[in-house]
């Protein structure tokens, strides 16, 4: 009976390994910089730069840059309007043809506490204009995004960041509809009062793929009111 269990476990592990695609077998990386610059009591500007790789710091996949204008209705509620530009390379084993994207999004962020646990919600609507090669054509996509997260303080220096985001691409005549899920957990280190680094793991499930990513992020805040 003992050996039967071992055999079953072995066969399952072999089946899982063969079922995985080459892209799923690789641990990739996401490098992130997010800056927030507070201009007044109600207004701030933020920007984000992300570089995605199919392998750790290698095999380029995606570059994102954006800037957002944020209006702080209260300490708990913020609205945002953003523009971004993206460079996308879907070639896994070698450089492929690139697609380029112009993106707008409208966003609402809301923070509160559940008992003593800090909770943050992010609701986002995106309009994506993609310039795809072979054959060259422009495609418009609309996406709905919802992220639920929390930040757990361990002490003055360390914290844990957890969030999960569901992203739905709306189906149209020109593109398929599908849902993506991104689960993220990281250890955060407060370098200064205005800056922290997060090192963590992101699991991305999209179109039947189960992708694993090491994520390293630098988050920086500047308050020009002071």
pTM for the model: 0.87
Query: What mean pLDDT comes out for the span 8-24?
Result: 55
Residue 80 has pLDDT above 90, yes or no: yes
Residue 6 confidence (pLDDT):
46
Query: What's the CA gap between 80 and 220, in Å, rounded?
Result: 18
Stated as kind and residue range, the H or E segment containing 65 is: strand 58-72
More confident residue, 96 or 208: 208
Query: What mean pLDDT comes out for the span 3-10?
Result: 47
Question: Which two three-digit tokens encode residue 67?
Answer: 């800037």
**Model confidence band, residue 13 (pLDDT cutoffs 50, 70, 90):** very low
Output 53-58 pairs: Cβ under 8 A, ≥24 positions apart: 53/28, 53/29, 54/23, 54/26, 54/28, 54/92, 55/26, 55/27, 55/28, 55/29, 56/27, 56/28, 56/29, 56/214, 57/29, 57/31
Residue 11 confidence (pLDDT):
45
**Model confidence band, residue 7 (pLDDT cutoffs 50, 70, 90):** very low
How high does pLDDT run on average in the chain? Answer: 89
Closest CA to 164 of 198, 117, 209, 201: 201
Query: What's the CA gap between 80 and 108, in Å, rounded?
Result: 6
Burial 84-99 (b: 16+ CB within 10 A, else e): bebebbeebeeeeebb
Query: What mean pLDDT comes out for the span 137-151?
Result: 94
| Window from 21-30, 47-56, 86-95 with minimum mean pLDDT | 86-95
Is CATH 2.40.160 the classification given to domain 28-223?
A: yes
**Residue written as token pair 């800037």:** 67
Stated as kind and residue range, the H or E segment containing 166 is: strand 158-169
Residue 23 has pLDDT above 90, yes or no: no
Percent of the chain residues past pLDDT 70, beyond the cut: 88
Query: What mean pLDDT comes out for the span 190-197?
Result: 95
């Amino acid at each position: 009976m003992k050996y039967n269990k071992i055999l079953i476990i072995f066969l399952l592990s072999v089946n899982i390994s063969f079922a995985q695609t080459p892209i799923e077998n690789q641990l990739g990386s996401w490098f992130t910089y997010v800056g927030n610059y507070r201009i007044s009591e109600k207004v701030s500007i933020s920007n984000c730069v992300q570089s995605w790789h199919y392998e750790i710091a290698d095999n380029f996949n995606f570059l994102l840059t954006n800037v957002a204008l944020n209006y702080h209705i209260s300490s708990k509620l913020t609205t945002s309007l953003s523009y971004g530009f993206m460079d996308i390379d879907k070639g896994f084993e070698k450089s492929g043809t690139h697609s380029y994207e112009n993106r707008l999004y409208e966003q609402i962020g809301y923070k509160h506490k559940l008992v003593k646990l800090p909770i943050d919600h992010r609701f986002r609507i995106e309009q994506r204009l993609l310039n795809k090669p072979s054959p060259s054509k422009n495609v418009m996509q609309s996406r709905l995004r919802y992220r639920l997260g929390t930040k757990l303080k361990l002490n003055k220096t360390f914290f844990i960041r957890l969030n999960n985001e569901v992203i739905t691409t709306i189906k149209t005549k020109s593109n398929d509809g599908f849902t993506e899920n991104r689960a993220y957990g990281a250890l955060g280190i407060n370098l200064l009062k205005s800056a922290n680094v997060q090192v963590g793991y992101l699991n991305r499930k999209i179109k039947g793929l189960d992708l694993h990513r090491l994520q390293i992020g630098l988050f920086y805040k500047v308050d020009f009111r002071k």
